[in-house]
Amino acid sequence: MDYGVYWKYLDELVQEALVNSDRTNKGISNYLQAKQKPGFLTRHRHEKTKALEEAIKAFNEHQHWPLEIVLSHLGIDKNSL
């Protein structure tokens, strides 16, 4: 697994979800769950699928946590958003 691609895609996913949702953990989780998973011929499919699954899991399981804590849990710097 290419962790550079994984971290880049995870960061992009979370930024996109923050822009297109109501910025609550539940809203972000719902947005990410509605996204289509990368297809068979997608480049770096494994990394992108793993990033999407991890983001969904974090926002879904930790809905009672503040947003900054969930971002920190995922390893995303809130200042970069």
23-62 confidence digits (pLDDT tens): 899 999 999 999 888 888 888 899 999 999 999 999 999 9
Query: What is the Cβ-side half-sphere exposure of residue 29, based on CA atoms within 13 angstroms?
Result: 15
Domain extent, residue 45, equals: 3-80
Tokens representing 64 are: 């009672």
Task: Please state, in angstroms and as integers, the Cα–Cα distance from residue 77 to each residue in 14, 44, 70, 74, following that order.
Answer: 11, 23, 11, 9
Handedness of CA 77, 62, 39, 19 (dihedral sign): negative
Q: What is the pLDDT of residue 57?
A: 94
Tokens representing 72 are: 């920190």
Number of structural domains found in the chain: 1
Tell me the one-letter amino acid at 53: E
Q: In the predicted model, is pLDDT for residue 77 greater than 90?
A: no
Report the distance separating Cα 26 and Cα 38, nearest Å. 22
